[in-house]
Amino acid sequence: MRSVAMLKGSTQKRTQRGFTLIEVMISAAIITIGLCSMLAVFGVALAATQNAQEDMIAKQLASESMESIFTARDTSQLGWNLINNVSNGGIFVDNPQFNPINNAGADGIVGTGDDAVAGAQTLQMPGPDGIIGTADDPAPLALTNFQRSVSITPVVSGGVTAADLRLVTITVQYTTSQFHVPKNYILTAYISQYR
């Protein structure tokens, strides 16, 4: 009986299963594709982070222009007839301010003709301590890839032009440093002659 049991045990196939070389190669290829995809996403995230700073600067430049127009109206620094583009009898230049964007001139209003003598606008970034105005701050950042335009148009409704309401459109055009693609940030608001 023993010999019969031993014969049966030795003739039975053992079913051990492992990974074949093909299976290992396929898994390595899948892992490689996954890692390459992760690296590509990481690169896009870095580019988006860089572009976010330029987007923030464009937003700030547009907001600064809009605030100066409303402040000039609210403080009666400008009469209603002057809150217009030069071509319509106002003081705001018709064409965009090309590189570089200038600071506000003597009148303190952004986008007017006297800005050219005020000099190029720069952005001061904080140094390693995170505080602006300390000794470790880097040199001011020139805004050479930005341009800004102010457009003030009358509001027309039903064929009638509103005498006391205008549409202000601030456009800041800039190119991203990563892709060199022009982008626009547009800020619009209505302004009336009443405070």
* pLDDT, tens digit, 9 for 90 and up, residues 174-191: 987 777 788 999 999 999
pLDDT of residue 143: 84
Average pLDDT value for residue range 131-156: 88
In a domain, 35, yes or no: yes
pLDDT of residue 100: 67
Q: Is 156 helix (H, G, I), strand (E, B) or coil?
A: strand
In a domain, 11, yes or no: no
pLDDT of residue 33: 94
Residue 57 parent element (H or E):
helix 21-74
Q: pLDDT tens-digit profile of 2-44?
A: 555 555 555 556 666 777 888 889 999 999 999 998 888 888 8
Whether the pLDDT of residue 144 is over 90: the answer is no
In a domain, 13, yes or no: no
Side-chain-side CA neighbours of residue 76 (13 Å): 0
Whether the pLDDT of residue 155 is over 60: the answer is yes
In a domain, 5, yes or no: no
Cα gap 138→124, rounded to integer Å: 8
Q: Closest Cα partner for 97 from 78, 114, 83?
A: 114
In a domain, 12, yes or no: no
In a domain, 160, yes or no: yes
Number of domains the chain contains = 1
pLDDT of residue 192: 92
Domain that holds residue 53: 21-192
Decide: 150 and 168 in contact? Cβ < 8 Å: yes
In a domain, 30, yes or no: yes
- Residues constituting the chain: 195
pLDDT of residue 20: 84
Q: Please list, in sequence order, all residues whose beta carbon lies within 8 angstroms of the beta carbon of residue 146, skipping any fewer than 6 positions away.
A: 57, 58, 61, 99, 100, 101, 172, 173, 174
Chain mean pLDDT for the chain: 84
Q: What is the pTM of this model?
A: 0.71
pLDDT of residue 97: 63
In a domain, 8, yes or no: no
